[in-house]
Amino acid sequence: MEDNKILESMFPSDILPKVYPKEVIPQEKSEIDEILNSNIFNVMLNRRSQRKFEDKEIESWKIDIIFAAADTAPTAGGFQGFEIYHVVNEQKKQDLVKAANNQPYVQAPLVLVFCMNPDRIKLKFSFEILHKFSIQDATLAAGYAQLAAHALGLSSIWIGMINEDMVKSVIGTDLQPSSILCIGYPKKMLMPKPKRNLTDLIHTVQ
């Protein structure tokens, strides 16, 4: 019961996954405590793309937290102009490999396809602007999911080189996919790659 309260404190009640399998909530409270106490800056600094995953199933409660994290991402007008497709069928994962320029790591334990849904954005703008909003919404949601995965001890790889028509055919939708996020337990923890110096990155406009 105490573990339930800890998890429920992570997200607002209307965001917490309603299908959370409470009977399988881990008894090791320390693991949940560690997640709750994760420093967001530490997560961002140490996240690294991973292309080799262990053949190990991801706990359902971790998947639920990743979904909930994506659900908290900021979106245009709060309308959430995106959808997430959770691909569990192994044959469809193999088909996605072909749709992603034969990148084999698409067959990761957890495969999520983020799609744009501009029809959800009830703002009075042209389709071009709503389409742009939905790209941003889907991208932010995938980024939040990626950070949550790292905080949970998982690794991920972002797939942007995709054949959109093939992906739509595989997952059965008319919505335009923006990215595929592949998540799993890393075979080896990699050190983050060096980034640009902030003096080169930031341009001050006077």
Question: What single-letter DSSP state applies at residue 53?
Answer: B
- Residue 106: helix, strand or coil by DSSP? helix
Q: What are the distances in angstroms from CA 105 to CA 6, 21, 102?
A: 33, 28, 9
Backbone angles phi, psi at 81, to 5 degrees: -80, 55
Per-residue pLDDT tens over the stretch 72-117: 999 999 999 999 999 999 999 999 999 999 988 888 999 999 999 9
Q: What is the mean pLDDT of residues 27-47?
A: 68
pTM of the model: 0.79
Q: Which homologous superfamily does the CATH classification assign to the domain defined by 2-189?
A: NADH Oxidase (3.40.109.10)
Domain residue limits, the chain: 2-189
**Size of the chain in residues:** 206
- Give the C-alpha separation, 85 to 113, whole Å: 5
Per-residue pLDDT tens over the stretch 173-182: 999 999 999 9
